[in-house]
Amino acid sequence: MSEHTAPRVAESSRGVRIEGVEVDGVILDLDGVITRTARVHARAWKRMFDDFLERRAERSGEPFEPFSIDEDYRRYVDGKPRYDGVRSFLESRGIELPEGDPEDGVQEKTVCGLGNRKNDLFRGLIAEGGVEVFDDAVRMIRLWRSRGLKTAVVSSSKNCQAVLRGAHLESLFDARVDGRDAEERELPGKPAPDLFLEAAEELGLAPARAVVVEDAAAGVEAGRAGGFGLVVGVARDADPGLLQRHGAHVVVRALDELHTEAAAGAGDEGGLPSAIDAFDRIARRLADKRPAVFLDYDGTLTPIVRDPAEARLSPPMRRAVQRLAGAIPVAVVSGRDRGDVESLVQLESLIYAGSHGFDIRGPELRHEHEGGVAVLGDLEDVERQLRARLESIRGAQVERKRFAVAVHYRNVDDAAVEGVESAVDAVHAAHAKLRKRGGKKIFELQPDIPWDKGRAVLWLLETLDLDRPDVLPMYLGDDLTDEDAFRALAGRGLGIVVGDFAPPTAADFRLRDVGEVQVFLERLTDLAEEKRP
């Protein structure tokens, strides 16, 4: 293990597929994929080049044409070693400068001098504003590591280690290959594949068994040139077509859009351990921590029923939840309206997050997502249209929630379900501000913004001062929308899936039914009460 490696958290991959490709590790670019320093780099490049170009224009009398972040940065600089970026941009303007020496001062009019000036500017901007990270990247890296995948970070920057340290991300990687390594080992920069190949070697992986994740065209080209099994392009704010044209197998806006599942024969979610049988193991995790519990409602605290209005909490389950809430923080996170689930549970000590977390209320807590409030008019229009279109389909139920419109088809004949979905799709097509999501016998139109149960849980942890090393968050749920919460807690908490859940899951444990949920909550309460001083 080199000096750049971090301690392993898993001995080996348990057999994992990402986007259908079976892999043993993931190699990620830093800037623009994991951290937001791509913006800081771009600002530093622009400040350096604009200063150089403006002074050059003053001397020559030619018009000053500033450096463009949208065009010049992405085309000539992004993803390349610093001096290569300087050289590439200067060539695009027909400017020739001496190469100089890496020891050149920042005032030297050489390729190395300009590169060193940019580096000084970057460090100053980082010192001023710190390091921001993409939460989706951190969540997915934790998930992949919890599934036994090895992870490495690759960067053309010599500041990679400082950025990781500033963002507290060093422990998430088994290897790091950066600009310093490239210089010491004489590795060519992207689009050559050498940096990625070096990282794969440090991880002990064949390229065909590894994923490369990149946001720059040059990086995508490097991944394909290296023969990696899967090359993922991350187009957060860029044109996805650009990354596709340069060779990305898959392009996503955020890493949590990637589909991760157990490989064939590796033991899928059906082999998840029972949370009751493994309770002693969970108790050991809680030896120096206290739990915070987040609960879905339908299918978790109550069985799924034909009429959602009849999904009432049983007296024994209510007592179990009430007792648990007397010992530890408890929140109910439901797709139902917040007022609806609050009236069904009827426990004032709980926190209620309705409409998949768009509407949250608890003791001394009130939060409505402003992005959801902005599309309330669209939801009113959608509700009217869906009621009109589905009126003739027997069994179809339109449910208006404050921040969503749900269409239940549990009581619709199988032959008519396609007609229900066609109606939903037709209405959705006319409302670009909404997204369509599915669940158990339900289609739902929600605000098309990056918010879901997982992000709501993370918001609650931070707001309630529970995002701490001495807290172990747990989420119990049974449906597809609960996967957002399982992924959000991967590597930092526990996900427990309830029932016969067919799709691949990011959960850690399983409970068979609502009855087992009650037993688990009661045992967890016993443990929490025993630990009280």
Query: By C-alpha distance, which of 423, 150, 471 is closest to 286?
Result: 471
| Catalytic residue status for 337 | no
Q: Are 238 and 246 in contact (CB under 8 A)?
A: no
Q: Which two tokens stand for residue 247?
A: 């060779």
In whole angstroms, what is the distance from residue 324 CA to residue 408 CA? 32
Q: Are 238 and 218 in contact (CB under 8 A)?
A: no
Q: Which residue out of 24, 29, 78, 359 is catalytically annotated?
A: 29
Tracing tokens 């033991």 back to the chain, one arrives at 267
Query: By C-alpha distance, which of 280, 274, 277 is closest to 527?
Result: 280
Query: By C-alpha distance, which of 89, 94, 65 is closest to 78?
Result: 89
Helices (H) and strands (E) in the chain, counts: 18, 21
Task: Indicate the SS3 state at residue 57.
Answer: helix
| Catalytic residue status for 31 | yes
| Distances 62 to 57, 59, 243 between C-alpha atoms, Å | 5, 8, 35
In the 3-class helix/strand/coil scheme, how is 385-416 assigned residue by residue?
Answer: HHHHHHCCCCCCEEEEECCEEEEECCCCCHHH
In whole angstroms, what is the distance from residue 393 CA to residue 217 CA? 49
φ/ψ (deg, to 5) at 413? -60, 145
Which residues are identified as catalytic?
Answer: 29, 31
